[in-house]
Amino acid sequence: MSNQILVVVEHLKGNIEDITFEMLGKGKEISGSTGGELVALLMGSGVDGMASQLAIADKVIYVDDVNLAEYNPEAYGKTVSAVVTNIQPKMVMIGNTSMGMDIAGGVSVDQNMPFIAYVSGISADGNNVTSSLYGGKMNVDSSPSGDGLIISVVAGSFPADAGRADGSPDVETANAPDLSNLSLQFKQLIEPESGDVDITTQEILVSVGRGIQSDENLPMAEELAAKLGGAVSCSRPIVDNKWLSKTRQVGKSGLKVKPKLYLTLGISGAPEHIEGMKDADLIIAVNTDPNAPIFDYAHYGVVQDIFDLIPALNDKL
C-alpha cells in the first residue's frame, strides 16, 4: 500500500467540476500532514490540456481512450479500478455525485476496499471520517482501520478554492484497461429543455421547496420574486410533482446556480440541493424547523411559517 491519495477528476463538457477542486484541496491537506503524495486521475479522450488546472497535485495520471470520451460508468469504473490496482493508494476520493455514486461501489467490491459514502468531513490525518446521512439530519463518525479506503465526498463540504492551482504538474500517461466489450454504451447527453427562464444567469432567486405544499401557493412566491427583480427556482420534489419545469430545479440532478441572493422558502437543505446553490453570495433560509440542515449553510435564517412571511414581505415590497 502506497502513501498516496488518489482523487478521481470529474469533468463535463470541457469543465472540471468544483467537487474535484474540493477533494484536491482536502487531499493536499491530508497528504501534507502525513507526508504522502496527492495524485489526480484524469480520464477522457483528448482532454490532456485539463491537467494544467490540476497543478496542486504532486502527479496527474492521465488515461486517454476513445471509450472514455463520454462518461460511461462501466468504462470509468474499470479504469479507476485498474489505476487503484497499479498504485495501491491508501485513500481514493470520489465525488458523491451522480458519477461517483455510479462507480465507487463497484470499485470497492472489485478492490475489496471499504467504502464510506456521503463524506462531509475528514480529519487532517485522514483517519477520521464524518458522513452526513438522511439529508444532513444525522452525522456518523467512522475511524476506518486497515489498508485502503474509498470515500465519496458530498459537494460543498470543503472549499474548492483550496484545490485550484494552474501550472505544469507531472503528468504520467497510463493505458486504459480493456474497454472493448462494454455492456453499457453512451447514447445521449440529455440537457434541460430551453425556452424557460435561465435560472443560472439570475442574480436573485426565490427558491421554493416542499414546504410550499401545493402549486396553488406558487403565485405568492412568483409575486415575491418579481418584486425582488428575480425568478423562482425550486427543489426536486416541486419538479417531481410537475408544479414547475425541470429547468427551475437546483441541485445535483438539476442546475448549479450562483446568484447574488438565494432565498429558500420551505427547503430542508438536503446535500443534493446544497450541491447546486452553495456558492450563492448570500443565502437566506426560511423554515419552520429550527434544526433544518439548510440553516448550516444560510448566512441568515428565519424560523417562520412561509405562509405568514411571504404575504407580509409582498405587502412590504
Binding site for ligand FAD (CB under 6 A): 135, 209-211, 235-237, 249-254, 266-268, 270, 272-273, 276, 286-289, 292, 305-307
Report whether 207 contacts 233 (CB < 8 A): yes
- Output 40 or 277, the one with its CB closest to ligand FAD: 277
Nearest-approach distance from CB 204 to ligand FAD, in angstroms: 19
Nearest-approach distance from CB 113 to ligand FAD, in angstroms: 23
Q: How far is CA 234 from the centre of its chain?
A: 17
Q: What is the C-alpha to C-alpha distance for residues 67 and 72, in angstroms, rounded to an integer?
A: 8
List Cβ neighbours of 285 (8 Å cut-off, separation of 6 or more).
Answer: 263, 264, 267, 269, 292, 294, 295, 297, 298, 300, 301, 302
Nearest-approach distance from CB 50 to ligand FAD, in angstroms: 25
Report whether 203 contacts 228 (CB < 8 A): no
Nearest-approach distance from CB 264 to ligand FAD, in angstroms: 8
- Output 150 or 234, the one with its CB closest to ligand FAD: 234
- Output 87 or 267, the one with its CB closest to ligand FAD: 267
- Output 26 or 248, the one with its CB closest to ligand FAD: 248
Q: What is the C-alpha to C-alpha distance for residues 294 and 267, in angstroms, rounded to an integer?
A: 7
In this structure, what is the dihedral angle of CA atoms 255, 260, 262, 263, given to the nearest 10 degrees?
Answer: -150
- Output 128 or 253, the one with its CB closest to ligand FAD: 253
Nearest-approach distance from CB 134 to ligand FAD, in angstroms: 9
Strands 129-133 and 138-142 turn out to be: antiparallel
